[in-house]
Amino acid sequence: MERSFLGEEHAIFRRSLRKFLEKEAIPNFAQWEKNQQVPRSFWKKLGNQGFLCPWADEKFGAVHADFGYSVVINEEFERVGTGMVGIGLHNDIVMPYIDSYGTDTQKERWLKGAISGDLVSAIAMTEPGAGSDLAAIKTTAVKDGDDYIVNGEKTFITNGYTADLVVVVCKTNSKAQPAHKGISLLVIEADTPGFTKNKKLQKVGQHANDTCELVFENVRVPTANLLGVEGKGFYYLMEKLQQERLMVAIQSMEAVEIMLELTVDYVKQREAFGRSISKFQNTQFSLAEMKTEMQIGRTFVDRLIDDHVAGNNVVTEVSMAKWWTTDLAKKVAGECMQLHGGYGYIEEYEIARRYRDVAVSSIYAGTNEIMKGIIAKNMGL
Ligand SMILES: Cc1cc2nc3c(=O)[nH]c(=O)nc-3n(C[C@H](O)[C@H](O)[C@H](O)COP(=O)(O)OP(=O)(O)OC[C@H]3O[C@@H](n4cnc5c(N)ncnc54)[C@H](O)[C@@H]3O)c2cc1C
């Protein structure tokens, strides 16, 4: 099916990225999953090849590439494994905050390293006591001369362990009413005294993707590290969450496609009762239904990509895509595992990893219940 945001140059780019990943990522991926980390050397290689933040301006060392390239990169990373999702987060979720709300000095300071692979980024919103209810965060940033003093704790932070730079969501005014008006974004560098990274969290899946807790104890952060305007942090988050959730939908649709490919291959070679299990009507109907749903999902998500590129506000539709595609990925993972029989539950078979990896997609980037809440609110309910 033709995709309006992709042309011949994107196809050439996809081929070269896939070739690069076949050589540099796929042979090492199982080890990265064991290490619970993608190594820095790989980030550097990605940077050298122009695969980090290609959308950024030429003056920082990128090529000002269109959003189609981000789609290609995220799809190809997903093909290797969902454990690569932290790189997509750096590219298309964290660094766009610096690009959109940073001053020229801040961009000069952080974008170059993010593009070259010398600097890994993370975003810290969630706290042990506040995930969905972001306005209830407790991390404070209190002004003291030309600094803020930051105290608090964050959890479940993707790239948190590797990160050199974290965009931290803090309360600069704990008394603000409504509470979200007191929220600001501060960029905190990893070597700042008082900033500690706790050990990596042991997750069900996405093992190569490091996730950890971050602790801030009287961390002195220069006011020059404030992103945008004090008190506007919540608005910035709301503006950027459209792209974050769209990315999750794009990754989910790619995961669905991969799981179907794996399963079609498997059922063709497995025999039971003297014939290929692909000849059972149940197998065929199950795969036909999943293929149909994949096509429906892709059509919707691709239309949203067009809208997003055009600069339209599609928050409601992206919320729909986020819950629907992640639920679809979870359903497809279960059905594809079933069609693999016992082998589907064995780690040697890729469907086992895929099953573990997609489980969290309905939780992060805003839970699917929160997505339905947004849709209902925009229906006037
Ligand atoms: C692997 C992983 C990576 C992550 N990466 C990051 C990251 O990089 N940065 C970051 O800041 N965070 C990250 N998160 C955190 C993630 O965004 C939160 O876990 C998520 O927003 C849910 O918050 P919570 O875990 O506190 O759940 P809670 O908010 O406690 O929710 C628990 C349950 O209650 C439901 N619920 C809550 N409120 C409502 C409501 N109003 N209506 C109906 N149901 C409701 C939820 O849907 C959920 O089912 C990550 C999480 C994971 C697991």
Q: Which atom of ligand 1 is nearest to the CA of 368?
A: 47
Distance of alpha carbon 219 from the chain centroid: 27
To the nearest 10 degrees (0 to 180), the angle between helices 67-80 and 281-309 is 150
- Distance, CA of 201 to CA of 297 (rounded, Å): 32
Q: Are 323 and 367 in contact (CB under 8 A)?
A: no
User: What's the token pair of residue 341?
Assistant: 């029989």
Could you read off the pLDDT of 160-171 as tens digits, one per residue? 999 999 999 999
- Provide the percentage of residues in the chain whose pLDDT is more than 70: 100
Superfamily of domain 234-378: Butyryl-CoA Dehydrogenase, subunit A, domain 3 (1.20.140.10)
Q: Which among 133, 201, 361, 367 is the best mutation to test ligand 1's pocket, defined by most ligand atoms within 8 Å of the CB?
A: 367
Residue 92 CA, ligand 1 centroid: distance in Å? 20
Q: Which residues line ligand 1 (CB under 6 A)?
A: 122-126, 131-132, 156-158, 203, 206, 211, 360, 363-364, 366-367, 369-370, 373
Stretch 213-241: mean pLDDT, rounded? Answer: 97
Is domain 8-119 classified as CATH 1.20.1260.10? Answer: no
Q: What is the DSSP string of 119-150?
A: --EEEE--BTTBSS-GGG---EEEEETTEEEE
Nearest CA to ligand 1 atom 37: 132
Distance 257 CA to ligand 1 centre (A): 26
Atom of ligand 1 minimally distant from the CA of 209: 1
How does pLDDT run across 104-159, given as a tens digit for each residue?
999 999 999 999 999 999 999 999 999 999 999 999 999 999 999 999 999 999 99
Catalytic residues: 244
Residue 317 has pLDDT above 90, yes or no: yes
Q: Where are the domains of the chain?
A: 8-119, 123-231, 234-378
Kindly give the number of the ligand 1 atom that is closest to the alpha carbon of 132: 29
pLDDT of residue 10: 98
- With bands split at pLDDT 50, 70 and 90, how would you rate the model's confidence at 373? very high
CATH class (in words) of the domain with range 123-231: mainly beta
pLDDT averaged over every residue in the chain = 97
The residue nearest atom 16 of ligand 1, judged by CA position, is: 364
Query: How confident is the model over 222-249, as a mean pLDDT?
Result: 97
Q: Is the pLDDT assigned to residue 199 strictly greater than 90?
A: no
Is residue 99 pLDDT above 90, yes or no?
Answer: yes
Predicted local confidence at residue 62, as pLDDT: 96
Q: Are 210 and 37 a contacting pair, CB within 8 Å? A: yes
